[in-house]
Structure 1
């Protein structure tokens, strides 16, 4: 290619795989080269590469830097573009740190002019600006004996730097480049660069997922319901981000910068929220940030309805509440701590590089998907703005919090309408109750956080475990079952007794009894009791091990139907017609797989039937928080009634298999 007429190849506009390229910018004399040397010493060259922009130009330009200086402006732009591509490709997918110039002083006019190229804007992923005070720059330039620097007054240097920062910020917003005025602490700069090196959208979601798992796993019981709450204008009628910047500078100038950011092409993307985090980092150190968050939190009052709702549901071990906010995590943690809810309500949110992630609308939606995949519980989403639409749309239950007409999101109606047309089914909660409706009650019905049906839906436990482990009766009943010398008819009798005991002692209380009239032995009529709706019960004995226990249960509930099956597909719809309760009876539940298959079969045939598993022994892992039975219970509920729990994961074979012992078939092929 003839450098006299540089033409850009459309296929070679930027590296095929965009590496992380971090520019260190600042006016000439700001100290970029010295900083680059410090960073090389601190970070090392194993995962970082370091470049002086002028050295890269010297390397790739025919004739070196001296020839470059004699070129026309057009040719200089071409070789500057080639230099930044050389740097990006030289990083081999790693992280390159390069000193660069946005403007250089024209020797003729003594006025600074932009030298940034289109390829710079396509290549850089981050730009850090070294904002050295103008008087310091002036002294350095005056004392620089190695370079011929034109004398520029301090005031003009200050104007130059101010103009560069403004123009760079605008260009970076337009071209999806992270921009930040550099902190004056080398350790903070190092932490920033390390974050830039490892952080991308995939890593961001991974860290957010880990925070979600930690929050949901904190409780004792299996999470049957996970409630995800947005924070700003959902839990309180304020935007804590706006309040932060008011406390920061007493006005909204910095907030206007944030608004401009989200009005840029970055909008509410991963890059947009990362850039917002850099604005907070640029404005405050950790101590000042904590102080401002405390001020904001002290002035932020939760809606009374939200506080009451939280206090009601956090008492339930099977419910988790997680705040997922695009705003400031620390503010909401402090608000919840003041209300005494910090231990029960966890917050996922950002605001600082040290948080390790940012929350975007997409992150909110992906967290819902993670919950649905890994925990199988019911996911509830509560939000107020278009940033919550993805979360609301993916959740099992969506609640739109509607604030007063003055403070609520202006674009939410249109976003809601579009989502509803795509299938979103949601309800709205008015906070306060006098707030005007969103859309209408046909497409967005109104509910209340204290609605009895809503509360009952949440507090009702889907999975319930009842067992008699440790009771004296259990010790007596389990002895023949565990005794190797007992088998055949004697063992079947022992299993029959266990079924009889569990029916009398536990199932009667669980399922309830009803009164009916009977003839008293003395001749008059009196009141007797029987299992409620006994004739509408189906006892399914899982062959062979469950036969004797099923007969024992049936001996107590003589009006119930009895079905003996070996495979789930042997259960048919006609077996379930008119039935409201199904007892799945087996002697031993090991990993829970067989019971889960029968549960799925029955639930698929008749979704509204109540299912209870009755067993002599249940392995603790099968009913633990991460076990299969609590997981399947989310589909319509499940109760397990067992004589005892066992931590022994041993599965019997031949002589130790329960079925063989029951029927003396240990020696049969």
Structure 2
């Protein structure tokens, strides 16, 4: 035989794929292959591995066994290449039976026959696992295979375990899916494998994305097609399941260690392999669930796990509160099993407020990956125009935490793996700025990092926006206020100087009050020492803030606020309807700025406009001076804003003086030096009123005289007619009475 080196370089990616049916002698490979070929002939093409091999080497089995190792390697390499070519040409998935290891001459040692070409060719290995006693019995009773040696159960166990462990390691290292299916009952095994093969033929990341969008539509309905189309909600809360909603990990409970010798659970072994957290890894995880038994056994195990899972009470309380609002919707997006989490939510009484998008078994055809979680968030943001809060805890949640409008890192007191800690810290260095929500009280966090500040459940902005109260913050009694307010109150100061004073006040309010209200966010900035960085600070979610200047008086102060928060959006508004949905989409906070609050009516109008467009957004109203009756507890603004959630007024000072400037004393007129114009308008209005009154009096007198003369004439005519009639009647009566007397 030739000693020429064998080409074992990986094959190029091929479609539609190759599946191996593996197992030790007597495991039932040929029987399963035959039964499957009868059911799946349209989509798959089936091969007996030994037959393909002997055809490739053009010799009988014994001659092949007697050949040297190099020849056997060449033969096995050519055989699998022929199968790949046949699959590609036919357009069908190839299914081939095979061995991973065979007994050596010493009988107690098993020699691997897996080749580099196998690593490059297979996409899925289905291993038929049979109990050693069953195996020994089958081999003993198989009269058609006299070439098989009867082995004791212990030896068969060793052979089988070596193949399973060896194949799993090879598959995990080479992006090949692997599943071990119990074949003590061939009819049950055939049903399971048939489902797996059907799912495999349709399995791709692209198809999973299409299914994901379909699942979202089943929950939220069709996405709005036009800007004017109503949104289903304002905010969506997206929760991871394991170790986020609950402290337990359902995957670890479903797939515990199989024996005491294992260093880790099956899932930990998987995700610590070369597959990492890839699509293949999550597909592999789904395959592990297929190995748990038939539908009834699987459902029973899901039920048993769900009983052990308890959702954090603070989440139960918060989620139940969303029943009372149409503005917030919540979903679980988990790489874990959807069936388990549906049962967990049902047990907690949350099935009506929390839907689940989760993985199934591989045979069920849907797998959720970290990338899929991110796709959910982006679809909700862009397709459904929702503000998305994400609650997660681990490495697999990082993509959706990074995509979130608001990222919440849930910390339950349990220490995370070093790998997870490293990945989260790396994400912080790359710009992720989550807030930590502690489930176990202060001091329980493993992440001591100022880039991830702690927040408490009741302080989550969407909760306060829906059910919060009216608040007032001011600096009336401070030295800074006295100094800043002096030029603002000085009647001799106007125009650019006054605008500068208002801008200075806006900057001070931004640094002193707004920063305290909204909070700060740490980021890395270059240090003056070359090559070093130091901590920098900016307003929390500064790039998700809209500053609205209420024109015209609010503009100078708003510019001061903008000067301190340069990443914020800036908007002018002459009336509340100037505020449009696109000004608030994806924003966390709106800051309304007016120079003065007298009765508060204007500010209230704007707040209600904002709340109508974005019910869960944080609202802050900024002013230089607020009239006490308007902003006091149970004052005018609080009464008018009932039902509007939390609204915070931040003012430089609060005044008990109820004087309201008009015309030349109006703040806007002073700011823009239009006092003379305003006075002219005011004088014109007064003159107009006086002229109107005088004209009205003159017209009234003239009209009165004319009406009097007219009325006198009419009355005289009426009276004359009346008197004449009366006199005539009287004279006639006298004449009639006198005639008889005369006659007498």
- TM-score, L = length of structure 2: 0.59
Please name the residue that 1:322 is paired with.
Answer: 331
Does the alignment pair 1:164 with 2:200? no
Deviations 1:148-192 (A, max 9, x none): 515232232333223222222222222222222224412122111
Please name the residue that 1:493 is paired with.
Answer: none
- 1:54-93 alignment runs, 5 A limit: 54-63=50-59, 68-92=64-88, 93=91
Please name the residue that 1:258 is paired with.
Answer: 267
Q: 1:76, CA displacement in angstroms?
A: 0.9
Structure 1 residues 344 and 253: CA distance shift in structure 2, 3 A? farther
Residue from 225, 235, 240 that aligns with 1:230: 240
What's the RMSD between the two structures over aligned residues? 3.8
Verify the 8 A CA contact 1:376 1:631 in the aligned structure 2: no
- 1:132-211 alignment runs, 5 A limit: 132-142=130-140, 144=142, 147=145, 149-155=147-153, 156-183=155-182, 184=185, 185=188, 186-211=190-215
Structure 1 residues 278 and 191: CA distance shift in structure 2, 3 A? same
SS at match of 2:129: coil
Verify the 8 A CA contact 2:462 2:616 in the aligned structure 1: no
Please name the residue that 2:35 is paired with.
Answer: 38
Q: Can you give the 5+ residue segments of structure 2 that lack an aligned partner in the other structure?
A: 224-229, 469-548, 553-570, 594-611, 620-744
- 1:106-117 alignment runs, 5 A limit: 106=104, 111-117=109-115
Structure 1 residues 452 and 422: CA distance shift in structure 2, 3 A? closer
Distance across 2 between alignment mates of 1:603 and 1:140: 65
Distance across 2 between alignment mates of 1:78 and 1:449: 65
Structure 1 residues 4 and 214: CA distance shift in structure 2, 3 A? same
Distance across 1 between alignment mates of 2:464 and 2:245: 21
Distance across 1 between alignment mates of 2:312 and 2:584: 45
Query: Paired residues, what number?
Result: 489
Q: 1:100, CA displacement in angstroms?
A: 0.6
Distance across 1 between alignment mates of 2:329 and 2:56: 59
Verify the 8 A CA contact 1:403 1:431 in the aligned structure 2: yes
SS at match of 1:429: strand
- TM-score, L = length of structure 1: 0.65
Q: 1:230, CA displacement in angstroms?
A: 0.8
Please name the residue that 1:431 is paired with.
Answer: 439
Residue from 345, 353, 365 that aligns with 2:362: 353
Distance across 2 between alignment mates of 1:131 and 1:106: 21
Structure 1 residues 5 and 223: CA distance shift in structure 2, 3 A? farther
Please name the residue that 1:47 is paired with.
Answer: 43
Does the alignment pair 1:13 with 2:23? no
Please name the residue that 1:376 is paired with.
Answer: 385
Distance across 2 between alignment mates of 1:358 and 1:101: 29
Q: 1:26, CA displacement in angstroms?
A: 1.3
Please name the residue that 2:673 is paired with.
Answer: none
Q: 1:408, CA displacement in angstroms?
A: 4.6
Verify the 8 A CA contact 1:403 1:435 in the aligned structure 2: no
Q: Can you give the 5+ residue segments of structure 1 that lack an aligned partner in the other structure?
A: 461-534, 539-575, 585-594, 611-629, 638-669
Verify the 8 A CA contact 2:373 2:400 in the aligned structure 1: yes
Does the alignment pair 1:403 with 2:412? yes
Verify the 8 A CA contact 1:314 1:321 in the aligned structure 2: no
SS at match of 2:265: helix
Verify the 8 A CA contact 1:141 1:149 in the aligned structure 2: no
Distance across 1 between alignment mates of 2:583 and 2:437: 35
Residue from 220, 238, 245 that aligns with 1:216: 220
SS at match of 1:434: coil
Verify the 8 A CA contact 1:21 1:96 in the aligned structure 2: yes
Structure 1 residues 134 and 455: CA distance shift in structure 2, 3 A? closer
Bigger radius of gyration, 1 or 2? 2
Higher deviation after alignment, 123-132 or 406-415: 406-415
Verify the 8 A CA contact 1:237 1:403 in the aligned structure 2: yes
Verify the 8 A CA contact 1:323 1:348 in the aligned structure 2: yes
Please name the residue that 2:494 is paired with.
Answer: none
Residue from 120, 123, 137 that aligns with 1:122: 120
Verify the 8 A CA contact 1:384 1:408 in the aligned structure 2: no
Structure 1 residues 147 and 204: CA distance shift in structure 2, 3 A? same
Q: 1:116, CA displacement in angstroms?
A: 1.5
Distance across 1 between alignment mates of 2:173 and 2:77: 19
Distance across 1 between alignment mates of 2:283 and 2:312: 29
Structure 1 residues 17 and 582: CA distance shift in structure 2, 3 A? same
Deviations 1:244-303 (A, max 9, x none): 346x97989696232212111112222222222222221333323322322332232221
Please name the residue that 2:461 is paired with.
Answer: 453
Verify the 8 A CA contact 2:83 2:94 in the aligned structure 1: yes
Structure 1 residues 354 and 285: CA distance shift in structure 2, 3 A? same
Verify the 8 A CA contact 2:338 2:357 in the aligned structure 1: yes
